[in-house]
Amino acid sequence: MKKPLLDPHIADVAPAGAAFTEYDEEHMITYMRLLDADQQGAHWRDVSRIVLRIDPDTEADRARLAFESHLSRARWMAEQGYRHLLRGGA
């Protein structure tokens, strides 16, 4: 497994499905930050701005979609996707 990037490019929509992807591998830190923010009750607009680097004031639809899809993927990684890491990653 490669070292996760601290500030990777954020796609408009995170991957979906049961396959662990290179994108997932590159965004592990992003996923952890999203899960942490969610657990702390942070507002999606703040998380979008800070973690995803998408301004919800100028790109509300894009920011919301990116936030929801990445948080969903982060939850999948925490609940199921981590098994791929145990088997050696992507």
Task: Please list, residue by residue across 79-90, b when 16 or more beta carbons sit within 10 angstroms of its beta carbon and e when fewer do.
Answer: eebeebeeeeee
Looking at residue 87, its pLDDT comes to: 76
Q: How confident is the model at residue 6 (pLDDT cuts 50, 70, 90)?
A: confident
- Rounded CA separation 37/29 (Å): 12
Q: How confident is the model at residue 62 (pLDDT cuts 50, 70, 90)?
A: very high
Listed by start position, the domains of the chain span: 26-86
Looking at residue 1, its pLDDT comes to: 61
Model's pTM, two decimal places? 0.89
